[in-house]
Amino acid sequence: MRRIKVKQVDAFTDKPFTGNPAGVVLEAEDLSEKEMQAIAKELNLSQTAFIFQLEREESFLFRFFTPLQEVPLCGHATLSAIHCLLESGKVFLREPLTTLFIATKKGEIPAEIYLKDGIVKKIMIDFGRPEEKTLKIDSFEELKKAIGIKSLNEDYPLLLINVGLDFLIIPIKTLSELLNLKPNFSLLKEICLKIGISSVHLFTLETKSPLALAHARNFSPLLGISEDPVTGTANAALGYYLFKNDIVKGISPLSFIIEQGESVFRPGEVFTEVHFEKKNIKTIKLGGKAVTVMEGEIFLSNKNQ
């Protein structure tokens, strides 16, 4: 019998039972793809990260699984996995900044750990430059009906943005309408499959906190996630959207907070940075804090059994 150590971490928060929970398996070298998928399904969290130690010192490969499938990248699970690496002492920290390079199926992802007086203040993940894609949809009415949208914020467009996964960014006028949406997830799943998008990410510029720039909700039934509490990659896409549509202006890098999770009673904050030169985005960084809420073991049969 093999005993596989697992942790559950709440990301984009420093308070247990808020933010976005992710599973983390610290030593995944002995696991097959089938076993990783089975563990992700058993934990039944939106994402589980599996960490592989690479030959180069302090070099790691992360793989990410929803309960249904593997995905190339996940923001909150990356943050959670880095938090677990730091917690387990697998990374030597240098003040004020330590940079890790994480291998993923999307490519190598730099991550920055900010340290002061021996305490981790935040972890920022470099998602590179998101890619804007063409949205192939004949009518938006069916999608609006599936989500329950009554009125859009027509000051801004719909955009399809890729950050490892495709996110359809949808602007909503008020926080009240955003929080009161009640999607038909089975219908939304069918529509997402038909038009070829992974997820819909809705936002409003009305916020709960005066420190936040936008409030978001994310629906990803095609990935087996009805509503994701606080989404990393989708908010990287939203950071791109906010800059492209002149909602945020100033000198590079632009820093702001996106809040999410209120609708599922798991509020969290995503620290976001847009790095650009002459209106051309160079990279989007986002991150925050994380807290471990549970650890234990999963039992698997030996490989020869």
Q: Is the dihedral of CA 173, 175, 180, 185 positive or negative?
A: positive
For 291-300, the pLDDT digits (tens) are: 999 999 999 9
Label residue 161 by pLDDT band (50, 70, 90): very high
pLDDT in tens, 248-262: 999 999 999 999 999
pLDDT at position 103 = 95
pLDDT digits (tens, 9 = 90+) for 7-57: 999 999 999 999 999 999 999 999 999 999 999 999 999 899 999 998 777
> Would you state the pLDDT for residue 244?
95
List the structure tokens of 293.
């809420």
pLDDT, mean of residues 124-151 = 89
Q: What is the pLDDT of residue 190?
A: 92
pLDDT at 239 over 80: yes
Mean pLDDT of 206-233: 94
Candidates 193, 189, 261; CA nearest to 221 is: 189
- Give 66: exposed, middle or buried? Use CB within 10 Å, 0-12, 13-18, 19+: buried
Q: How confident is the model at residue 305 (pLDDT cuts 50, 70, 90)?
A: low
For domain 131-288, say whether CATH 3.10.310.10 is its number.
yes
Residue 15: φ, ψ to 5°: -115, 125
Tokens of 153: 């914020």
Q: So what's the pLDDT on residue 19? A: 97
Is 2-127+290-300's fold the same as 131-288's? yes
Q: Specify the pTM.
A: 0.92
Q: How confident is the model at residue 278 (pLDDT cuts 50, 70, 90)?
A: confident
Q: 135-169 burial by CB neighbour count: b if 16+ within 10 A, else e?
A: bebeeeebbeebbebeebbeebeebbbbbbbbbbb
Average pLDDT over residues 208-219: 97
pLDDT value at residue 196: 85
Q: What integer pLDDT is reported at residue 304 of this predicted model?
A: 57
Pairing of strands 60-65, 97-104: parallel
- pLDDT tens column, 65-109: 999 899 999 999 999 999 999 999 889 899 999 999 999 998 999
What tokens were used for 218?
């994310």
**What confidence tens digit (pLDDT) does each residue in 165-199 have?**
899 999 999 999 999 999 999 999 999 988 888 89
Report how far residue 263's alpha carbon sits from residue 271's, in angstroms, rounded to the nearest whole number.
19
Three-state SS string over the chain comes to: CEEEEEEEEEECCCCCCCCEEEEEECCCCCCCHHHHHHHHHHHCCCCEEEEEECCCCCCEEEEEECCCCEECCCHHHHHHHHHHHHHCCCCCCCCCEEEEEEEECCEEEEEEEEEECCEEEEEEEECCCCEEECCCCCCCHHHHHHHCCCCECCCCCCEEEECCCEEEEEEECCHHHHHHCCCCHHHHHHHHHHHCCCEEEEEECCCCCCCCCEEEEEEEHHHCEEEECCCHHHHHHHHHHHHHCCCCCCCCCEEEEEEECHHHCCCEEEEEEEEEECCEEEEEEEEECEEEEEEEEEEECCCCC
In words, the CATH class of domain 2-127+290-300 is alpha beta
The pLDDT of residue 195 is: 85
Mean pLDDT (the chain, rounded): 93
Break the chain into its structural domains and give their ranges: 2-127+290-300, 131-288
